[in-house]
Chain A
């Protein structure tokens, strides 16, 4: 079980800058960003499109490397890790929930949910027990054998959440997780993630401009032009 609501930072960004080239232009997607995310947080990065939310999530999620500054995940500097080590770090310590669900289309709901456990080499029996429990928890009991194209958007996102939390990661990064679903489904998904945060202590960091997410988040970090322009904790 993940330790709940500790103040120990899981993620620390120190003066992180990420520049993208667009033709001859250089765009600072993230500009000297410094922030920390503590264990058990249920926080959100907000801001308009192009403010650097997704880039920040990608940097924290070891999907991208900063041009300057350091990204530390559980005291490990991502810059020091090889491609394979970064893959293993993502596998073991980071969960991802994407806007477009991003399930593997040839795998069933069960296989998608157990995907990371499989990569970790968890024994079959244990994998089955944990995956079935997770699918039950996210409300997909009885749908284990369905392929993604046989599930609704909300159901696919539930599978993605199950996949993300299956390896008991240090943090779940959710990039616009409610953007592609209707209000009722969005509410149900947020209920689920909130429950996982409160009951299991799973740390969530959202990138969103969805009001519903912002209302539920306990901490709102606002970005504009790659900079953190607001950081508000709710009671």
Chain B
């Protein structure tokens, strides 16, 4: 009976019910918009950042993150890589040496950062420089003289493919060492700070210059299938390696600036969603409250003939339930087409975003797109639904407090 009554009560004022359901549907739509743009942007930034050198999880010498120096290094880097690759959820692990260097051409000298890599371990998916090549080719040996630089550095130093470049750094003994390389390729990520300061060098060549052992490196970059679980994966990797003298850090520790910006943005996003939620709740509260006030006489009748306050409370709450469910279904129906469009095509905001705009050194994608995790979908639908039910609690409580004798007098 309650079921029948709630549906008929809702259909009694069809327009109001539809407007309220659309309010809930709007809540679903906007929550998806906020969450999905955030999920896409954050995931994109984190994954892009991971491909700039450190991965999602980094195994590095103890204290290296706070005080990076080439004297700090880890031995058995390839064994670490092999172990990491066996862990479920790890998609790749790459041995690298990173450090600061002075780069000089016939025209100019600039300070920068080198990343020494083993070309056989690198792939475009996990190396932004590799997939951003605009000229020449990637390194093809581990001990050659090839060097890949960013286009900005090439421009500043008047470098082209085939030109010589001298790089100077300090070895494990603190001695200044240098080597001559030859430009094999030029990349362009779009971030000036990156394109003007990064150079890729063959790893064995760098080991010989730095006097590293054949299996020594400054880090092993570990890539995982879902950046959200970097913390859990760090713990799994740590227990699997069971090594002393190394730090195992997540992207949020190695990319603290970007993590901070994401954290602030995420909170602003939550705040926006909370405000949208408040508007929805106010709408539902208003609808349900008006509906209760209008039916005080009817509630008085029902209580007079024996309906208990608890049952009346449930009746009104059930109306909120159906209103919420209807709104969530309508929300899904209006959101799905938008989601399909936004996740595949998106909105091009190039005209609003400056070329090369970055967050913490990571290029901002000017295409606004959607990405939703299953957990986010569940959170949005259950959150909006719960909000509707919560908004119905007070009117339901008020309905249960109706005094039959007073309300029977209402004409």
Contact = CB atoms under 8 A, between A and B. Distances in A.
**Is chain B a partner of chain A in the same complex?**
yes
B204 to A, nearest CB: 82
Interface residues of B, number: 23
A118 B1 contact: yes
A111 B1 contact: yes
Q: Please provide the 3 A-B residue pairs with the shortest distance between their CB atoms, ordered closest to farther.
A: A91-B306, A106-B8, A63-B405
Nearest to A92: B306
B309 A83 contact: yes
Contacts of A105: 12, 298
Interface stretch (A1-9, A96-104, A178-186, A208-216): A96-104
Chain A CB within 10 Å, residue with most, of B12, B305, B404, B408:
B305
B18 interface: no
Nearest to A115: B305
B305 to A, nearest CB: 6
A104 B298 contact: yes
B303 A87 contact: yes
A220 interface: no
B408 A88 contact: no
Given A63-B405, A83-B309, A104 B303 contact: no
A64 interface: yes
Interface of A: 58, 61, 63-64, 83-84, 87-88, 90-92, 96, 98, 100, 102-107, 111, 115-116, 118-120, 163-164, 167
A102 B1 CA distance: 18
B157 interface: no
A185 to B, nearest CB: 21
B308 A84 contact: yes
B260 interface: no
Contacts of A111: 1, 4
- Chain B, interface SS category: helix
A83 B1 CA distance: 22
A90 B309 contact: no
B99 interface: no
Contacts of B311: 119
A159 to B, nearest CB: 12
B301 interface: yes
Contacts of B12: 105-106
B5 A98 contact: no
B305 A116 contact: yes
B65 interface: no
22 contacts: A61-B304, A63-B304, A63-B405, A83-B309, A87-B303, A87-B308, A87-B309, A91-B305, A91-B308, A96-B304, A96-B305, A102-B297, A102-B304, A103-B301, A105-B298, A107-B5, A111-B4, A118-B1, A119-B305, A120-B306, A164-B305, A167-B306
Contacts of A107: 4-5, 8
Contact of B302 (A63, A83, A104): A104
